[in-house]
Amino acid sequence: MKNLFAIFALLLISQTGISQPDISSNKVGPSAKQVAYQSLEMVGFVHFNMNTFTDKEWGYGDESPALFDPKKLDCEQWVKAAKDAGIKELILTAKHHDGFCLWPSAYTEHSIKNSPYKNGKGDIVKEFTEACAKYGMKAGLYLSPWDRNHAEYGTPAYLTYYKNQLRELLSNYGKITEVWFDGANGGDGYYGGAKETRKIDKKSYYPWKDIQEIVYKLQPAASIFSDAGPDIRWIGNERGIAGETLWSMLDRTKVAVGDADSDYLNTGDYYGSSWVIGACDVSIRPGWFYHAKEDESFKTPSQLVELYYKSVGRNAVFLLNIPPNRDGLFAEKDVASMKKFREILDKTFKDNLASNSKVTANTVFSNAAKFSPGNITDGDQESYWAAAGDKRQASLEIAIDSTKKFDRILLQEPVRFGQRIASFDIQLLRPGGWQTIASGTSIGFKRLLRITPIAGSKIRINIWDANNTPALSNFGVFKAAGGDTIF
C-alpha cells in the first residue's frame, strides 16, 4: 500500500511538472512550429522573376510581360541541387517589387499569362510547388508587399488586391510552409503609368494583423517571416551574419516591418517577451537575381562554410539565395559550390570525439537519470542534462581521447524550454593543467566555436550565467575537414 502511494505521488509530481526543470518560470519559449523550423538549419531562396530578364535588381514596374520567357525552366533541377546542399525548404519570389506574377493571378494582367512562357499557359508557382512536393522539399513563397506596377499602390484598394493575391497563393498550391514579407519600400515606380514617388506610412499602411490571419487560416503550418516576425525575423543585414550573441527573444513592440533597428535584430533581446527566430539571408552571388556578369562571383564552398558558422553556428537559420538564370536553371558553378559546401560540412561533423564519452556534472536536476550529464553525448537531440532548479551556474567534465586533436566545438540547448545560458567557457585538461580554449555568451539551438587544433584528456564546460536552470542537449568536438578553413 505504501509503495502504491509512493508511485501515485511520483505520478502526480510528473503530471504537475514538478519533476521537470523549472520551465514555466522562463516564460518565453518557441512554439512547436518554431522548434521544427530551427532544426531545418538551412533554407533556400530562389529569386527568379522579371528582373532575371532585364538584368535588374529592382524593376520599375513597367516591364513588358513579353520579356519573360525561360526556355529550359526546370524546377526539379532547383530542388535536387538544393537538397544536395542540405537545404530543407525553398522560398520562391512569386512577385517581387516590380509586381510581375509568376502565377496567372485572376487579379492582374501583369503576369505570366501574358508572357510567351508556355504561350501564356504557364504557372511557375505550380511547377515549383509540385517539384518541391515530389522531392520532399518544403515550399515557401515571397509576395512583395511593395508593388511598383500596381496603379492603386498606396491606397486601401491595393491592400484588397494584395490580400486577394495572398489568398490565391495560399489556396491553390498545396502546403506552403513559409510566407516571406519583405520590408523594402523604395517609393518611386510606374504605378499604372503615374510614374511617381509614393510614400506609405510603414507603421500603419499594411494591415499586418489581417495579413497574418489569412496566412494562419489558410496554411496553419506556415511560418511567417518579416523584419518583425512573428515566427522568423530578419537578422539585420543581407550578408548572412548573425550577432555572436544571439537571443531568439525579441520585444516586438520595438520593431515594425520595414522599420527596425538592424543592430537590435542582429543580437535579439535577452529581456524580450516574444520568441522570433533569426534568419540570415544572403545570396550565393553579389545580386539577389541572376546577372551573367556575376557568373564568376559565386561564393566558394569555404565561404559558404564560413557563413554556416556565422548563422547556424550562432543560433540562427541560414537562408541562402540561389538565382536561376534566364534559361530557368541554377548556374552549374553555383550548384557545384553548394554541393562541395555540404560535403565539407558533413565531413567536419561526421566524427564527434566526445561521442558517448563519460560526462560528470557538479549539479543535476533532482539527481535524476532523466537529466543526467551523459545525455549531452548520447547523440540524441531530445535527451538533455539540467542543473538543479536553483542553480544559475554549473560545470561539466567530459573525458576524451587525448591522442586526437580537435578544432570545432558544438553546444546545444534544449530550446523548447527557452534560451537560458548567457555566459560560458570551455577548458581543456592538458599535461600542464587546465587551459581555457574558448568562451561565449548565448548558445541557443546551436553554437559552434572554432579554435586552433588542440588535444587534451578532459574538457570542462563552465556555465557562468543563465536566466534559468541551465540545460544542454548536445555537446561535441570535431576536427575540421579540408575547405573548412576561414575564420
SS3 of 448, please? strand
Minimum CB separation from ligand FUL for residue 119, in Å?
29
Minimum CB separation from ligand FUL for residue 290, in Å?
13
Nearest to 257 by CA among 282, 279, 225: 225
Helix pair angle (75-84, 332-348), 10° resolution: 30
Burial class (CB in 10 A: 0-12, 13-18, 19+), 425: middle
Nearer to ligand FUL, 161 or 288 (CB): 288
Other beta carbons within 10 Å of 436? 11
Query: Going residue by residue from 230 to 269, which x/- string records binding to ligand FUL, judged by CB under 6 A?
Result: ----------------------------------------
Binding flag, residue 413, ligand FUL (CB under 6 A): no
Minimum CB separation from ligand FUL for residue 113, in Å?
23
Binding flag, residue 182, ligand FUL (CB under 6 A): yes
Which residue is nearest to ligand FUL, using beta carbons?
A: 184
Minimum CB separation from ligand FUL for residue 374, in Å?
43
Which residue matches cell numbers 533556400?
44
Nearest to 394 by CA among 477, 465, 473, 474: 465
Minimum CB separation from ligand FUL for residue 13, in Å?
49
SS3 of 47, please? coil
Binding flag, residue 184, ligand FUL (CB under 6 A): yes
Phi, psi of 194 (to 5 degrees): -70, -30
Query: Going residue by residue from 43 to 62, which x/- string records binding to ligand FUL, judged by CB under 6 A?
Result: --------------x-----
Minimum CB separation from ligand FUL for residue 141, in Å?
13
Binding flag, residue 225, ligand FUL (CB under 6 A): no
Q: To 10 degrees, the CA torsion angle through 284, 202, 315, 450?
A: 50
Nearest to 426 by CA among 363, 477, 353: 477
Nearer to ligand FUL, 48 or 173 (CB): 48
Other beta carbons within 10 Å of 458? 17
Minimum CB separation from ligand FUL for residue 475, in Å?
35
Binding residues for ligand FUL, rule CB under 6 A, total 5
Minimum CB separation from ligand FUL for residue 148, in Å?
11
Minimum CB separation from ligand FUL for residue 279, in Å?
10
Minimum CB separation from ligand FUL for residue 276, in Å?
18
Which residue matches cell numbers 530542388?
79
As given in the structure block, the three cell numbers for residue 386 are 539540467
What residues form DSSP beta bridges with 318?
42, 280
How far is residue 421's CA from residue 283's CA, in Å, rounded to a whole number? 31
Omega within 30 of 0 (cis) for the link into 230 = yes
The pairing of beta strand 406-412 with beta strand 359-361 = unpaired
Angle among Cα 320, 322, 327 to the nearest 5 degrees reads: 170
Binding flag, residue 63, ligand FUL (CB under 6 A): no
SS3 of 356, please? coil
Query: Going residue by residue from 15 to 44, which x/- string records binding to ligand FUL, judged by CB under 6 A?
Result: ------------------------------
Binding flag, residue 227, ligand FUL (CB under 6 A): no
Out of 37, 225, 288, 309, the residue judged to bind ligand FUL by CB under 6 A = 288
Binding flag, residue 281, ligand FUL (CB under 6 A): yes
Task: List interacting residues with ligand FUL (CB under 6 A).
Answer: 57, 182, 184, 281, 288
